[in-house]
Copies of this chain bind each other. A is one copy, B any other.
Amino acid sequence: MYKINENYQKLPGSYLFSNIAKKVNAFSTANPDKKIIRLGIGDVTQPLAPAIIEAMHGAVDEMAHAESFRGYAPDLGYDFLRSAIAQNDYRARGCDIGEDEIFVSDGAKSDSGNIQEIFAQDNRIAVCDPVYPVYVDSNVMAGRTGTYDAAAGMWSDVIYMPCTMANHFVPEFPEETPDLIYLCLPNNPTGTTITRAQLQEWVDYANRVGAVIIYDAAYEAYISEEDVAHSVYECEGAKTCAIELRSFSKNAGFTGVRLGFTVVPKELKCGDVSLNAMWARRHGTKFNGAPYIVQRAGEAVYSEAGRAQLKEQVAYYMENARLIKEGLSGAGYTVFGGVNAPYIWLKTPEGMTSWDFFDYLLENANVVGTPGSGFGPSGEGYFRLTAFGSLENTKAAIERIKNL
């Protein structure tokens, strides 16, 4: 008789955003006249840039003729895209990353979930708390996290690195030594980040203790401060201890287009085993390449027109971030983030849990945000709003919150 992977049964409840969707649907059904504004899930709202649309139409046309039709893509990505990435995201920033260290995928969520597969079962993971839930959940499924303490919302074998007002949202080296360190910087959900110098300390730490940093740079396009690194490879020594995950979802609005990539440097080795070769094998065995049309769209992100258009798109969202941040501050809230990331992280009013504030905001302002506790135990008492709405909706939401 077959048996299931029992680790799945350990996962508490369902995924954060499913719960939010259920609550919003219930409210919406009960109050059909209320216009709900969604600043919850980190999904973009602005259309794809014209340069990207043009590239996609061109690629679709190529697929219509035998001479230009493309079948299976190279598992690791088309050279035209890997070259554009290596040049623009790395070499232009002084990071010596080669095309063959870049693995194109269908998005950073897949890579975030899958990357743990190339590591041993008994590796110990460390995560910032709060953080994007996929890191922990994918390790739960793999049986790496021990038992769950429902009251504390914590796993026995996960090393949590609290990031709260108390430490200015800067993770500290944990007491126990981790094997894998997930760092999402700028952070989702707090919208905060650390300086290049602070990141260098993490790289040095990882090299010293023999840990791998899994560096999620999904929000790097939103960095506005000079002393913040866009890539972990801006730090010396990162190529021997860090894997970087990148997304096109937020810098180019690809949440529904699906494209990302992972950098695994050739210098990253466990003994004489190359992690670059392991990830190539994983990709080659369980993945068949991102769609040709989507990879051409990705290439257009790096074109001159694409870059100019996307700079405007990022500025549009960051103007929303500024409005939310200033609006909420003016209304007396304590707020963080919004400077190097499209997320605003606010302290809930005294005595309210994250979910209490979710209900309060939904019912009284008809605004949907995300309860901080959904991102980890140290997120309790905080709340996330995203800057990815339209300018009009963002302004309206802030007005409603101010008038509460």
* Chain A residues at the B interface, C-beta cutoff of 8 Å: 1-6, 8-9, 11, 14-15, 18, 41, 43-48, 50, 53, 56-57, 60-61, 63-66, 69-73, 106-107, 109-110, 112-114, 117-123, 134, 137-138, 141, 179-180, 209-212, 253, 255-258, 270, 273, 275, 278, 281-282, 284-294, 390
- Nearest CB on B from A315, distance (A): 16
Kindly report which residue of chain B lies nearest to residue A105, judged by CB atoms.
B106
Task: Please state if A141 and B69 are interface contacts (CB–CB under 8 Å).
Answer: no
A120 contact set on B, CB distance < 8 A: 2-6
A66 contact set on B, CB distance < 8 A: 45-47, 390
A5 contact set on B, CB distance < 8 A: 117-121, 278
A1 contact set on B, CB distance < 8 A: 179, 209-211
Main secondary structure on A side of the interface with B: loop
Q: Choose one: B11, B72, B138, B281; the contact of A256 (CB below 8 Å).
A: B72
Task: Please state if B255 and A114 are interface contacts (CB–CB under 8 Å).
Answer: no
11 additional contacts (CB under 8 A) given A47-B66, A53-B61, A60-B60: A8-B282, A46-B69, A50-B64, A53-B60, A63-B256, A71-B256, A72-B255, A141-B282, A141-B285, A257-B291, A291-B294
Task: Please state if A71 and B43 are interface contacts (CB–CB under 8 Å).
Answer: yes
Instruction: Return 23 A-B CB contacts under 8 Å, by A number.
Output: A1-B179, A1-B209, A2-B180, A2-B210, A2-B212, A3-B270, A4-B119, A4-B270, A5-B117, A6-B120, A11-B281, A45-B66, A45-B69, A48-B69, A57-B57, A63-B256, A63-B257, A72-B256, A107-B288, A110-B286, A110-B287, A134-B285, A257-B293
- Nearest CB on B from A301, distance (A): 14
Complex Cα distance, B366 from A39, in Å, reads: 60
Task: Please state if A134 and B286 are interface contacts (CB–CB under 8 Å).
Answer: yes
Complex Cα distance, B271 from A3, in Å, reads: 9
Task: Please state if B69 and A2 are interface contacts (CB–CB under 8 Å).
Answer: no
A11 contact set on B, CB distance < 8 A: 281
Task: Please state if A257 and B292 are interface contacts (CB–CB under 8 Å).
Answer: yes
A273 contact set on B, CB distance < 8 A: 4, 9
Complex Cα distance, B3 from A180, in Å, reads: 9
A60 contact set on B, CB distance < 8 A: 53, 56-57, 60
A73 contact set on B, CB distance < 8 A: 256
Task: Please state if B69 and A47 are interface contacts (CB–CB under 8 Å).
Answer: yes
A110 contact set on B, CB distance < 8 A: 286-288
Q: Choose one: B61, B256, B285; the contact of A292 (CB below 8 Å).
A: B256
Top 9 nearest A-B pairs by Cβ distance?
A113-B286, A1-B210, A2-B179, A3-B120, A43-B71, A71-B255, A109-B288, A70-B256, A256-B292
